[in-house]
């Protein structure tokens, strides 16, 4: 008689599901805050953020990004702080950040997905 572990009950799978839920929840929250305060989606904000960090800041869009990002950044950063402070201690936030930094940034770095 073999004992098979359901993929849904492994700690890794449970952690993955929790990470997906946390990501979805945080994206919904931050998106709603930016839309209500500044008429920007989280995707809009990310594009502006990238433009503001462009080499030499020579793109004309950087000027636009600078004007819009200052106000939106305050809302977004405040939302991030509140989101984590409501749920975790400072030490827990630091531990979570350290753990998540271990995950690959580029999916190509971790392409081996064999069962």
Q: In this predicted structure, what is the pLDDT of residue 115?
A: 42
Write out the H or E segment, with its range, that includes residue 74: helix 60-85
User: Who's near 89: CB < 8 A, 6+ residues apart?
Assistant: none
User: Who's near 21: CB < 8 A, 6+ residues apart?
Assistant: none
Distance CA 2, CA 69 (A): 58
Write out the H or E segment, with its range, that includes residue 32: helix 11-38
> What tens digit of pLDDT does each residue of 6-63 get?
656 777 788 888 899 999 999 999 999 999 999 999 988 887 777 777 777 566 656 6
Q: Which of 102 and 60 is assigned the larger pLDDT?
A: 102
Distance CA 91, CA 85 (A): 11
Locate the domains of the chain by residue range.
Answer: 26-89
Write out the H or E segment, with its range, that includes residue 50: helix 42-52
Distance CA 102, CA 19 (A): 14
């Amino acid at each position: 008689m073999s004992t098979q572990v359901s993929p849904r009950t492994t700690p890794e799978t449970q952690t993955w599901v929790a990470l997906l839920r946390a990501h979805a929840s945080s994206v919904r929250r931050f998106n709603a805050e930016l839309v209500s305060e500044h008429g920007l989606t989280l995707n809009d904000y990310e594009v502006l953020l990238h433009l503001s960090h462009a080499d030499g800041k020579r793109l004309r869009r950087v000027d636009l990004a600078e004007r819009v990002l200052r106000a939106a950044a305050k809302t977004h950063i405040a939302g991030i702080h509140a989101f984590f402070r409501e749920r975790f201690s400072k030490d827990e936030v630091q531990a979570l950040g350290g753990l998540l930094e271990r995950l690959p940034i580029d999916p190509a770095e971790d392409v081996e997905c064999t069962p």
